Amino acid sequence: MWPNGSALGPCFRPTNITPEERRLIASPWFSASFCLVGLASNLLALSVLAGARQGGSHARSSFLTFLCGLVLTDFAGLLVTGAIVVAQHAVLFDWRAVDPGCRLCQFMGVVMVFFGLCPLWLGAAMASERYLGITRPFSRPAAASGRRAWATVGLVWASALALGLLPLLGVGRYTLQYPGSWCFLTLGAQPGDVAFGLLFSLLGGLSVGLSFLLNTISVAALCHVYHGQEAAQQRPRDCEVEMMAQLTGIMAVATICWMPLLVFIAQTVLRSPPAMSPTGQLSRATEQRLLIYLRVATWNQILDPWVYILFRRAVIRRLHPRLGARPRSLSLQPQLTQRPTVQ
């Protein structure tokens, strides 16, 4: 319990923000517009995905399954967190009066961790799938690719949920954050807070690093096929180039949006002397930086669907008509595996 002088739940740290300051920071119009744009973007991406899933190769079907899981995750994250934040900004309710037992705060903390890690882990899973599809095309049965992709998406969701539930089991804590409209992990110096903060940061950072490594290898393999000795006879299929362009864009967006927050959390919980006082207070500069980095991270949920929408072949060919005139290409699988062709 924090020394807040009452029997309130453990999620309430001492704060010194006034209602006037909260009104200046918490704009219901901005938060509502932000959520509506994000929800509309993800709905548009889902409609485009529904049309793209009709037919196509097994590899593309598997990739689109991962994309569908990513867009659904972003949509649900904006819907759940946005409903809480917009309501708080619109009414400016006193969280202590509405949720004295911290159940809503704990729920929002779990949701924030879950929807924060899922896009990063799904991006790493997509990078792994494309890496295997390009460099080891005969290592997996094609018929099971769709089922395997949905199983992987389910595993990512289950793993992120399990991690988000750790503070409810005593590893770390979820507390109300500045300016009093959202809950997240605690940047404290207690062993549980440090362990959970580092776990969240390291798992998120490692997934971004793994995506970068595997995507670099995959792009290098595609470039090798383009510029190899058999480039005139064999090119990567358009869909393979399209998938790598989309995946690279998703990785870039995730890196730009999430790495500042992940690095900040790790730096703050490891700071000496501790950033949080024994009474649970953070400096105003630390609280404001956390809020800014969190807002930057939420842009990931809006930009992800637009990466898929804008990096499709139909859009790219409109921008570069010469790409559409290229002769129909073959699969890059035989060149990468160097298997003999049976006549």
Q: Is residue 341 domain-resident? A: no
Backbone φ and ψ of 53, nearest 5°: -75, -10
- Alpha helix (H) ranges present in 136-188? 145-164
d(CA 280, CA 103): 19
Q: Is the predicted pLDDT of residue 154 greater than 70, yes or no?
A: yes
d(CA 201, CA 260): 10
The two structure tokens encoding residue 286: 């630390």
Single pTM value for the model: 0.86
Q: What is the pLDDT of residue 116?
A: 95
**Residue 218 sits in a domain of what CATH number?**
1.20.1070.10
Report the number of distinct structural domains present in the chain. 1
Q: Is residue 326 domain-resident? A: no
Average pLDDT over residues 83-88: 88
Angle at 156 between CA 304 and CA 206, to 5 degrees: 75
- Which residue type does 208 have? V
Q: Is residue 175 domain-resident? A: yes
- Per the CB < 8 A criterion, the answer to whether 182 and 106 are in contact is no
Q: Is residue 82 domain-resident? A: yes
Q: What is the pLDDT of residue 89?
A: 83
pLDDT in tens, 295-338: 999 999 999 889 888 877 666 666 656 555 444 444 444 444 44
- Which residue type does 74 have? D
pLDDT category at 59 given cuts 50, 70, 90 is low
Q: Is residue 52 domain-resident? A: yes
Q: Higher model confidence: residue 269 or residue 134? A: 269
pLDDT in tens, 26-53: 777 888 898 999 999 999 998 888 877 6
Q: Is the predicted pLDDT of residue 17 greater than 90, yes or no?
A: no
- Residue 185, classed as helix, strand or coil, is strand
**Structural domain of residue 92, as residue ranges?**
20-136+146-320
- Which residue type does 114 have? F
**Nearest Cα to Cα of residue 246 among 305, 297, 323, 320:** 305
Q: Is residue 311 domain-resident? A: yes
Average pLDDT over residues 101-129: 94
Q: Higher model confidence: residue 213 or residue 228? A: 213
Q: What is the pLDDT of residue 227?
A: 64
Q: Is residue 185 domain-resident? A: yes
Average pLDDT, the chain: 82
